[in-house]
Chains A and B, each alone.
Chain A
């Protein structure tokens, strides 16, 4: 019997200082010189689910209710749920939440179909202006909220978790096949913002601070 090995579609071209193997993923926990500028964190190992059914009103993945209005998100106890449209929601089980996955027939695990990165830092929305025409600073949008739209011309789900100064940050997912080019584009656009790869520990500390 050979253990399977899961490989992230994200590569920063730099070796992490410390890694951890979890559920067959090799996860970067920390990088050297993560710096004070923008941080980009590979979260492709984070469990992601698609929930799709005609009536979402009574559906509570991991015990968390799905927001009623498309575009709204909720973050509670390490579970992030984003309402996509009338019948669909995406669910992220962030690091630290070890609850068992729902077994309902309307839930599909999509972890290995997409890439997922978090981008954090006070300049994150200036950075996003370079790579997307979505209006993250729309005063009508209060965090957390979901945008479904293009980033680097690729259809993405982008969840803004915070718009507050140093705590500003978001999570971005898109199809796995765009991984290499998406990361290349993001890192290139992030040079002027001193974007550096960071490990999962920095992400977890950021989420805990929200």
Chain B
């Protein structure tokens, strides 16, 4: 399937130029009071959304940036994210 990804620096490019960096899980949890179970969940558990999810990508063949996009996992197409993410 053809996937294009919009890098914030280089613009829209072929998906093969990028490396997937996983779901965006929000900021790293505070260490104070963090249980091993909660840390394990943060590191290993994914939501595996069937629909639009926010995810990290790395432009490995280009500018070397890490950034997030929204992608519809059912169509494998990048979609516009909510205004709050801009």
Contacts and interface: CB of A to CB of B under 8 A. Distances in A.
Contacts of A148: 9-10, 59, 62-64
Interface residues of A, number: 10
Contacts of A71: 9-10
B61 interface: yes
B64 A150 contact: no
B53 interface: no
Interface string A66-88: 00001100000000000011000
A133 B63 contact: no
A35 interface: no
Contact of A70 (B14, B61, B63): B63
Nearest to B63: A148
Interface string B1-44: 00000000110011001000000000000000000000000000
A147 B64 CA distance: 12
Nearest to B11: A71
Main secondary structure of the interface of B (DSSP, over half): loop
B60 interface: yes
Q: How large is the interface on B (under 10, 10 to 19, 20 to 34, 35 or more residues)?
A: 10 to 19
A149 interface: yes
Given A71-B10, A133-B14, A149 B64 contact: no
Contacts of A85: 9, 63-65
A54 to B, nearest CB: 15
Contacts of B9: 70-71, 85, 148
B61 to A, nearest CB: 4
A102 interface: no
Nearest to A155: B61
A150 B63 CA distance: 11
B62 A155 contact: yes
Interface of A: 70-71, 84-85, 133, 147-150, 155
25 contacts: A70-B9, A70-B10, A70-B63, A71-B9, A84-B63, A85-B63, A85-B64, A85-B65, A133-B14, A147-B10, A148-B9, A148-B10, A148-B59, A148-B62, A148-B63, A148-B64, A149-B13, A149-B17, A149-B61, A149-B62, A150-B17, A150-B61, A155-B60, A155-B61, A155-B62
Interface of B: 9-10, 13-14, 17, 59-65
Task: Report, nearest first, the 9 A-B pairs whose CB atoms are least far apart.
Answer: A155-B61, A148-B62, A70-B9, A148-B63, A150-B61, A149-B62, A85-B63, A85-B9, A133-B14
